Amino acid sequence: MVHFTEEKATMLATLYARALDARREHPLLGDTAADEAVKRIDADFSKMGVNSDSAASVAIRAKAIDDRAAAWLARHPEAIVLHLGCGMDTRVYRLDPPETVRWFDVDYPDVVELRREIYPERPGYTTIGSSVTDFAWLDQVPDDAPALIVAEGLIMYLQPADGAELVRRLVGKFPSGHVVSDLFSSLGIKVQKLNPVVRRAGATVHWGIDDPHELERFGLRLVSSSDASHWATPETVRLLPLGSRLALQVTALVPAIRRMGRIAEWDF
């Protein structure tokens, strides 16, 4: 049986969430590769705190980040992609970029080892097993093209000083680039134990960001920001389970709650 603890264990929960979504009659994301992976990984997914509503919210977040990343990549077909804290996410297969894109999936070594067992290789695709804040990994990445940096469910797990240093180094490395990431607000950090995935994994989130302009101090320029009630497109909302649709409507009415989760994009 695979064994991951704390923040690493959360990536099995988000994988399972996308698998559950793929099993629905009308999936939001339709990540069938996630479902195949879940069937091959020996883990007790039922104990990870994921239900149909949380699965829907993970699928919505993944779709929202996919759409943003795909839109930027379509304009930069020669880009370098850094997918940080990739976990077992199949984003590279979902977006299926052309071979001119050099894509790097980065996560801790044992997470990357599991990826290599489960997912096939593909041209232009490399996995790097390292903490994103042990910065020597950056030497494995070329710096001769604009970079797309995607981080989903990662930033909140970093210590703020480490996260700031990571952003500074990324901005300093490439000629230009674009960052797509989700964020937790400071309230999201305070109430983290209400999040069953975080609680059951025994994980701790540290870095709350109330205003995505805060990252401009480290060399980024904010280009867009949307809170959790705006991630789903109208077509997606129609496909949501009833409970999730109601939760979304309630969330939209309470600014502090709907701002607990945010997806932002920055240029540099």
Ligand X SMILES: C[S@@+](CC[C@H](N)C(=O)[O-])C[C@H]1O[C@@H](n2cnc3c(N)ncnc32)[C@H](O)[C@@H]1O
In whole angstroms, what is the distance from residue 124 CA to residue 152 CA? 21
Residue 89 touches ligand X, criterion: CB under 6 A: yes
Q: Judged by CB under 6 A, which of 86, 180, 215, 247 binds ligand X? A: 86
Q: Please count the CA atoms within 13 angstroms of the CA of 184 that sit on its side-chain side.
A: 22
Token output for 235: 């077509």
Residue 55 touches ligand X, criterion: CB under 6 A: no
Residue 261 touches ligand X, criterion: CB under 6 A: no
If the CB atoms of residues 136 and 252 are measured against ligand X, the closer one turns out to be 136
In the shown chain, the binding pattern of residues 111 to 140 toward ligand X, with x for contact by CB under 6 A and - for none, equals x-------------------xxx-------
Residue 181 touches ligand X, criterion: CB under 6 A: no
If the CB atoms of residues 55 and 154 are measured against ligand X, the closer one turns out to be 154
**The amino acid at 240:** L
**How many Cβ atoms sit within 10 Å of the Cβ of residue 252?**
14
Q: Closest separation between CB of residue 8 and ligand X, Å? A: 4
Residue 177 touches ligand X, criterion: CB under 6 A: no
DSSP H or E stretch at residue 99: none
Q: Closest separation between CB of residue 58 and ligand X, Å? A: 7
In whole angstroms, what is the distance from residue 173 CA to residue 181 CA? 18
In whole angstroms, what is the distance from residue 69 CA to residue 122 CA? 19
If the CB atoms of residues 29 and 239 are measured against ligand X, the closer one turns out to be 29
Expressed in percent and rounded to 5, the helix, strand and coil fractions of the chain are 50, 15, 30
Query: Footprint of ligand X on this chain (CB under 6 A)?
Result: 7-8, 10-11, 14-15, 85-87, 89, 107-108, 111, 131-133, 152-154, 157
